[in-house]
Amino acid sequence: MTPAPKSIDLAVIPGDGIGPEVTAEALKVLRAVLGDDVALESTEYPLGAQHWLATGETLPDETLTRLRGHDAILFGAVGAAPGDTRIPSGLIEREFLLKLRFSLDHFVNLRPSRLFDGVSSPLADPGAIDFVVVREGTEGPYTGNGGTLRGGTPHEVATEVSLNTAHGVERVVRDAFQRASARRGKLTLVHKHNVLVYAGHLWRRTVEAVALEFPEVTHDYLHVDAAMIFLVTDPSRFDVIVTDNLFGDIVTDLAAAVTGGIGLAASANLNMDRTAPSMFEPVHGSAPDIAGRQIADPTAAILSAALLLRHLGLDAQAGRIERAVEEDVATRTAGRGTAAVGDAIAAAVS
């Protein structure tokens, strides 16, 4: 157990689009729930697509070093408007977001999926949905390995290499078993081992080996394609899903959709060894089309702040935010603005 801190030194990266709006509400709720018990100091870092346009910087080494000094990072969203051709495609995602996750060794990308009372699912008969996805965050097909041979010619060959290590797989699998043990005791490995044999074999063997340490947890396996089917026909079958970086990306967006949309989906990029600060961000992107209009839902950002408190050992306060969100979404009326949602939840946790 991490002892509960007396103060939190937070880095805040509001980012682009709706990022600043939703982050402001998450901060508001954090201040409200911490009150005078825990001192909250926050430093804002201007980073993201707008920052790149203004300065040409994505994530300078010096900034990364300063970020390392904080207790945690609260992150909004980054990304250029879809039509903005001034920004090379994917640049901000790779040179900033993925660079942060990789540099700070965020090996557990934790994404809870819960269908709250009062939230409508696109599924006709969703049942009780309450699972977490433990997505590997530092390797797999996300390592940027690969290349292009004879680019732009009829003989072009483009490769992408998925890198998987015993070290990387084992630590995230163990984390997933720990979470399953503290929840309903059920873990599902999602992969595609019948085709991706080398990586698949490593993942399966690791799950079998780590399972021996957790006799109280049952585990099963689903190919990623079969997992798609269960996520829409029987999502209540899941408790903890553990999977690689790319499958995790795919599974968690579908999971967010069936639980009422990415406006409610929180995530944590965790360095469970605590050798660097963890980072907390809504699953959604910067949504430039609705930015600045106070219509974005800050709930995902607020729930990400709850994950932040839990990671820092402030479970009681995290629980208060989660219960306040639960009550708020159960009675929510359409058309309430971004700040109004934050105000309501902040009032409830004060």
Ligand X SMILES: CC(C)[C@H](C(=O)O)[C@@H](O)C(=O)O
273 annotated active-site: no
142 annotated active-site: yes
Q: What is the DSSP string of 16-46?
A: STTHHHHHHHHHHHHHHHHTTTSEEEEEE--
- What is the number of other CB atoms lying within 10 angstroms of the CB of residue 99? 16
Among 225, 289, 292, 350, which residue interacts with ligand X (rule: CB under 6 A)? 225
Q: Which among 143, 131, 129, 144 has a CA at the least distance from the CA of 176?
A: 131
Contact partner at residue 43 from ligand X, a copy of itself, none, CB < 5 to 8 Å by partner kind: none
Stretch that binds ligand X, among 93-101, 152-160, 205-213, 227-235 (CB under 6 A): 93-101
Among 71, 136, 239, 249, which residue interacts with a copy of itself (rule: CB under 8 A)? 249
Among 105, 175, 244, 249, which residue interacts with ligand X (rule: CB under 6 A)? 249
Q: Based on the shown chain and the rule CB under 8 A, indicate whether residue 225 belongs to the binding site for a copy of itself.
A: yes
Structure tokens at 85: 């051709």
Structure tokens at 241: 């899903």
Between 98 and 291, CB nearer to ligand X? 98
Contacts to a copy of itself from residues 201-220, by CB under 8 A: 201-202, 205
CA gap 79, 133 in Å, rounded? 24
Contact partner at residue 161 from ligand X, a copy of itself, none, CB < 5 to 8 Å by partner kind: a copy of itself
Structure tokens at 32: 């409200």
Instruction: State the burial class of residue 131 (Cβ atoms within 10 Å of its Cβ: 0-12, 13-18, 19+).
Output: buried
225 annotated active-site: yes
Stretch that binds a copy of itself, among 13-21, 257-265, 271-279, 303-311 (CB under 8 A): 257-265
9 annotated active-site: no
Q: Based on the shown chain and the rule CB under 6 A, indicate whether residue 173 belongs to the binding site for ligand X.
A: no
CA gap 182, 198 in Å, rounded? 31
CA gap 295, 21 in Å, rounded? 9
Between 206 and 317, CB nearer to a copy of itself? 206
Contact partner at residue 205 from a copy of itself, ligand X, none, CB < 5 to 8 Å by partner kind: a copy of itself
249 annotated active-site: yes
Instruction: Give the C-alpha distances (Å, rounded to integers) separating 72 from 121, 132, 139, 316, 329.
Output: 32, 21, 22, 18, 27
What residues contact residue 267 under an 8 Å CB cut-off, 6+ apart?
109, 110, 111, 252, 280, 281, 282, 283, 304, 307
State the residues that interact with a copy of itself by CB under 8 A: 89-90, 93-94, 98, 120-125, 141-142, 144, 146-148, 150, 152-167, 170, 192-202, 205, 224-226, 228-229, 231-233, 246, 249-250, 252-254, 256-258, 261-262
Positions marked active-site: 142, 192, 225, 249, 253
